[in-house]
Structure 1
Amino acid sequence: MTSTFATNYKQPMPIGGVNRVPLVTPGFWLIKLVAVTMGETAADFLAVNLGLGLASTTLLMTSILILALVWQFRQQRYVPTYYWIAVVLVSIVGTLITDNMTDALGIPLLTSAIGFTIALGATFALWFASERTLSIHEVFTFRREAFYWLAILLTFALGTASGDLIAEAFNVGFAATGILFGLIIASLALGYFAFGLDGIWAFWLCYIFTRPLGASFGDFLAQPPEFGGLGLGTTVTSIAFLAIIAGTIAVMSMRRTK
């Protein structure tokens, strides 16, 4: 099954430059899932536990994200430390965007989910119209990387809205929501490996759905039992996942230097 919107998902090297984003490996998905889990708990930790409030936390983390992306764009190639720091920060800011729309502006989660879906679709359409490809293996110009990070931000915001919609608004619960999205991701993987599902679309769909999977898992660990969680708290959960992220980045960086 092929698509005119995509190049070969298994393409190992970019054509025309040095790729600025990582290859998709099991390690990629591991750290991505951990990063989005931490993004959910860290946003709550900063806004609630530290008492910064939603608005101040959003301004603070957005400012830090902008600095991180400036540093990431300056690299001109994939450097694990800078790339994954940016992903963690995008995860936090994406969560905060949805939280602001829901809690501060009173926008229903269903409306947010639909809006982010339209915005993400428009981003992909503009990306393809401009570059004639959506390949994640050929992100070697400023414009392609800009489209890439915008798409990632929207996937986090959309994933947050979708996960909260099902877990809270539909009252499915954190654990059941995590299982649901885990099964969706498994079906996409099966479609790609066994039935020829287009690799680029499989990647982006999995990227979207790992957000609510990780967020549901993070909420399940952090939220108190009366809300369907294990009650570990956002502090313990955030620190634990931050340690996993730091360790994984260190391993990736050492492998690149060998």
Structure 2
Amino acid sequence: MTPHAAPIRWTLNKVPQVTALFWIVKMLSTTVGETAADYLGSTLGWGLTLTTSAMAALLAAALVAQFRARRYVPAVYWTVVVLISVVGTLFSDNLVDNLGVPLWTTTLVFAVALAITFTLWFASERTLSIHTIMTARRESFYWLAILFTFALGTSAGDLVSEGLSLGYLTAAALFAGAIALVALAHYGFRLGAVLSFWLAYVLTRPLGASVGDLLSQSRADGGLGLGTTVTSVAFLAVIVVVIGIFSLQQNQQRRLVPA
């Protein structure tokens, strides 16, 4: 390093290990993103503008805490994921409901934005692996990509279930089948781990959105009629329990590491 080069702040990896519990919480958070946005905007009557502003402010505060952390902290990390899920949903809803942008267009725009993010990330860091999120720059690319995956997933899920009139159950089945194909390609045909991860990460968002709508929307609209309140609270409760498990596991692992 030259005397005038800017120092790079290295930390422990800021992202959790990808396990079955990781995907469970990811799936639950995507569903909460869909139902919580509907609950705040419609059920409580906040409207899209106020809901977006409030959730974006909370997300900004959570991201500050996440970037300040020197290691992966389950409660902080997953709080950011839940909030970014809500905000990503609201970005898509604002474009479609407030500005009248077609779902085909928002799906394409967010897909291009995600592709550009990955391109810039790889050009800068030469990797898209989540196992090396150890600098502020890599973490910035990581969270920007996550935001676009949620926004893209919301638009894609609504496009399939509502825009194409296939219904929430059919949409959920289609996206679940796509994830199964990614898993088959990875485990059966050795599709690269990084590509497999990001494909699955993108697809779990529209799957979660479709499941959320299926559970919360009225029977007249093709849902099961549980409502956004019940669905959001139930899924958040499970998320809190699993985050507690993550925290306990992390504490046990740290005690086993020699000082």
Shift of 1:17: 4.9
Among the aligned pairs, what percent are the same residue? 54
Structure with max Cα Rg: 2
Q: Which of residues 225, 247, 258 is equivalent to 1:231? A: 225
Shift of 1:183: 0.3
Shift of 1:208: 0.6
Shift of 1:145: 0.2
Partner of 2:60: 66
Does the alignment pair 1:97 with 2:74?
A: no
**Unpaired runs of at least 5, structure 1:** 1-15
Distance in 2 (CA, whole Å) between partners of 1:24 and 1:92 is: 22
Query: Residues 192-211 of structure 1: CA distance to partner in whole angstroms, max 9, x if unpaired?
Result: 01101011111111111100
Q: How does 1:107-146 map to 2 (within 5 A)?
A: 107-146=101-140
Give the aligned CA root-mean-square deviation in angstroms.
0.8
Tell me if the contact between 2:161 and 2:167 (Cα under 8 Å) persists in the aligned partners. yes
Shift of 1:77: 1.1
Does the alignment pair 1:40 with 2:34?
A: yes
SS at match of 2:36: helix
Q: Which has the bigger relative contact order, CA under 8 A and spacing at least 6?
A: 1
Query: Residues 174-219 of structure 1: CA distance to partner in whole angstroms, max 9, x if unpaired?
Result: 0110000000000000100110101111111111110010111111
SS at match of 2:83: helix
TM-score when scaled to structure 1?
A: 0.93
Partner of 1:198: 192
**Unpaired runs of at least 5, structure 2:** 1-9, 253-259
Does the alignment pair 1:23 with 2:17?
A: yes
Does the alignment pair 1:149 with 2:149?
A: no
Tell me if the contact between 2:11 and 2:70 (Cα under 8 Å) persists in the aligned partners. no
Q: How many residues align?
A: 243
Runs of 4+ in structure 1 deviating by more than 6 angstroms, as ranges, are none
Distance in 2 (CA, whole Å) between partners of 1:87 and 1:103 is: 24
TM-score when scaled to structure 2?
A: 0.93
Q: Which of residues 178, 196, 203 is equivalent to 1:184? A: 178
Tell me if the contact between 2:186 and 2:192 (Cα under 8 Å) persists in the aligned partners. yes
Q: Which amino acid aligns with 2:42?
A: V
Query: Residues 116-172 of structure 1: CA distance to partner in whole angstroms, max 9, x if unpaired?
Result: 111111000100111111111000000000000000000000000000000001000
Distance in 2 (CA, whole Å) between partners of 1:163 and 1:138 is: 30
Tell me if the contact between 2:11 and 2:71 (Cα under 8 Å) persists in the aligned partners. no
Shift of 1:23: 1.1
Query: Residues 39-66 of structure 1: CA distance to partner in whole angstroms, max 9, x if unpaired?
Result: 1000000001111011000000000000
